[in-house]
Structure 1
Amino acid sequence: MKKQFVILFTLILGMQMHLSPAHAANNPRNTYEVKSGDNLWKVANTYGTSVGDLKLINGLQSDLLLVGQKLRVPIMYEVAPGDNLWKLSQAFNSTVSLIVTANGLSSDVIYVGQKLKIPPKKLSMDGKFILMTREEFKDWIFNQKFTRRVGKVQQHHTYQPSYQQFNGSNHFALMKGMEDYHVNGMKWSMISQQLTTFPDGRVVVGRPFNIAPEGSFGLLNKEAMHAIEADALAIENVGNFDAEKMTAEQRETIVTITALLMIKYGLTPTVDSITYHHWWDVNSGERVLDNTAGHAIKTCPGTGFFGGNSTASAKNNFYPLVTQKMQEILASLH
């Protein structure tokens, strides 16, 4: 399913763009599909960029490439009638200033037949952490290729840090603080969660998707915890939703990234595919759902998380939003 989505997404955007004859046959967008024998140096050298820039453009957490993975790359473009720098920047995920700088232009004026190098925008990264908007994450996840099977998405809230610790620009600092606690306090190998959403609606990729989360459920029963996490992907939503009201931006991001994960991994929103921390006994690792009496459970992701943390709240208030968003995303690909 995911291959069909990516191919369709690529073809639709490609049909909307005019490219120079040199690239029209094999590069309908500024993307390159990784082939057997490729490595970052080879791809970077082919497209006149550096390995470091290629990693920043594509939000790569390592040098590993997988066959079928899609990489955004700089391209040479021949200006067609009606083109202007703003249109080109929008078509190729670039900016006017990037195009001007890359081509040494003295103004925004371009002419038909002119050949321009168009470099894609770089993502904001700090080590393995990748900070993205919803749209950037959508592009990122459809271009990525993962080898680990994922059957469920875990929803958590952080409690700490809460909204009070977020100042609007300290995404990476909070991520490093969480990782420090996970590594030095909990003795895990790295940050536990793959994704973290923030009050401003941005999302950060942390733990690589191909590595199962660590320490998310069944804290005292390691065997049960590892079994639960083997096919899971964890989302931490910054905030204490037992006490704080979620912002509209973060709410939209949680719905959107969950929908994108459902599409990417071929899942349908149910209690089996989107699970709340509250539904698991943290000592035994048993999934108790709403039968919490006599069990050690946490309120996470919060009594105010999309109407509550019960299965009824999930079914009535969260899953329908995720399903609707999935339909909107899929419709946008047609």
Structure 2
Amino acid sequence: MREKFLLIFGIIFSLFFLTIPPGHTAEIRPSNIYVVRAGDSLPAIADKYNISIEELKVTNGLQSDVLIAGQKLWVPIMYEVRSGDTLVDISSAFHASVETIKVVNGLSSEQLYAGQILKVTPKKMTMQGQHILMTKEEFKEWLFNTHVNRDIRLIQQHHTWLPSYKHFTGSNHFQMLMGMENHHKKTMGWKNIAQNITTFPDGKVAVSRPLNIIPEGTIGPKANSVGIAIEHVGNFDSGHDVMTKEQQETIIYINALLCIKFGLTPSIDSITYHHWWHMKTKERVLDATASYNVKSCPGTGFFGGNSTTSAKTHFYPLITDKMEEILETE
């Protein structure tokens, strides 16, 4: 199964961002993706594409000024309209929005003519400080543009327990993230927010701690050293929050994307629950421990339970199916 995923993904990934705008032949292949090379800097790239450094960072969800060779950046492009082009087609091809194209080019309507030159500026991401808030589809684009230069072999599943659903208003994503960040830094004594990724009841997903930085937290150094930590907002112990359909779909989707990105096959060795790690020794104990030595995290009601049997029966198959669906539709 893993070999099949890797083979298919290798082919897809090499073609995924070679966007072919409407009306162009495959030989032309104009693209507004810039692949970072050794020695590149944000000021140099920004100057090359006549965009400010801040715009470049917000457009690409960059959490620092550090660039890594191989990562991909959305940049502005000058596009010559072909017969049959529409603003909807162009915006879709170049990761832009119709309204932004109209504003940047002073268009009063969506009517286009062949030969018209448009400046197409990629849409900006929703950011506050280091925190990037995305839909699950935006996360997919962001993830596959990102270059991670550390070994990733373990995707951790956690629930916040507190804050829970009653603290989520539908619009306070950044407030909750900042609250968690402050708690982790001031109370727990960690350098940053512990988790790399957070999911919310409305299906939104946030990246806070950069993926190139190992997570922190009580699960321990063995799980963290090769891990990515996902914190799911809610208390998913039985009898408490009932996970929304939107959050369920996002959790399955982003785990599938991470498995594809890092060549993982869903199993107890690649997708782990905090519940399977001893609170004191920080060793993986799976189901063989007394309840007082482990946390219930990610919840006794998390996709059927927090045991390895629950994960194998109710969680991993959903991720495997989603991986196949993603790969087949690209």
Same fold (TM over 0.5): yes
Residue of 2, 6, 15 corresponding to 1:8? 15
CA contact (8 A) 1:216 1:229 kept: no
- The sequence identity of aligned pairs, in percent, is 54
Counterpart residue number, 2:267: 270
Instruction: Report the Cα distance in structure 1 between the residues aligned to 2:172 and 2:259, rounded to whole angstroms.
Output: 29
Instruction: Report the Cα distance in structure 1 between the residues aligned to 2:23 and 2:145, rounded to whole angstroms.
Output: 22
1:1-334 mapped onto 2 (5 Å cutoff): 4-11=11-18, 13-14=19-20, 17-18=22-23, 28-217=30-219, 225-242=220-237, 243-293=240-290, 296-333=293-330
Counterpart residue number, 1:222: none
- Between stretches 245-254 and 226-235, larger displacement belongs to 226-235
- CA shift, 1:112, in A, is 0.7
Instruction: Report the Cα distance in structure 1 between the residues aligned to 2:214 and 2:11, rounded to whole angstroms.
Output: 25
User: Could you tell me which amino acid in structure 2 is paired with residue 192 of structure 1?
Assistant: A
Instruction: Report the Cα distance in structure 2 between the residues aligned to 1:34 and 1:191, rounded to whole angstroms.
Output: 27
Instruction: Report the Cα distance in structure 2 between the residues aligned to 1:29 and 1:250, rounded to whole angstroms.
Output: 33
User: Could you tell me which amino acid in structure 2 is paired with residue 136 of structure 1?
Assistant: E
Instruction: Report the Cα distance in structure 2 between the residues aligned to 1:17 and 1:7, rounded to whole angstroms.
Output: 20
Closer/same/farther in 2, CA of residues 240 and 20 from structure 1, 3 Å limit: same
Q: Please, which runs of 5 or more residues in structure 1 have no aligned partner? A: 218-224
User: TM-score, with normalisation over the residues of structure 1?
Assistant: 0.92
Instruction: Report the Cα distance in structure 2 between the residues aligned to 1:191 and 1:69, rounded to whole angstroms.
Output: 24
Q: CA RMSD in A?
A: 1.7
Closer/same/farther in 2, CA of residues 68 and 156 from structure 1, 3 Å limit: same
CA contact (8 A) 2:279 2:295 kept: yes
User: Could you tell me which amino acid in structure 1 is paired with residue 225 of structure 2?
Assistant: A
Number of equivalences: 321
Instruction: Report the Cα distance in structure 1 between the residues aligned to 2:147 and 2:300, rounded to whole angstroms.
Output: 35
| Off by >3 Å, runs of 4+ in structure 1 | 1-5, 16-21
Instruction: Report the Cα distance in structure 1 between the residues aligned to 2:193 and 2:309, rounded to whole angstroms.
Output: 30
Closer/same/farther in 2, CA of residues 295 and 165 from structure 1, 3 Å limit: closer
User: Could you tell me which amino acid in structure 1 is paired with residue 222 of structure 2?
Assistant: A
CA contact (8 A) 1:20 1:77 kept: no
User: Could you tell me which amino acid in structure 2 is paired with residue 328 of structure 1?
Assistant: E
Q: Please, which runs of 5 or more residues in structure 2 have no aligned partner? A: 1-5
Instruction: Report the Cα distance in structure 1 between the residues aligned to 2:12 and 2:262, rounded to whole angstroms.
Output: 11
CA contact (8 A) 2:256 2:319 kept: yes
CA contact (8 A) 2:23 2:84 kept: no
- CA shift, 1:43, in A, is 1.4
Counterpart residue number, 1:220: none
Instruction: Report the Cα distance in structure 1 between the residues aligned to 2:218 and 2:31, rounded to whole angstroms.
Output: 39
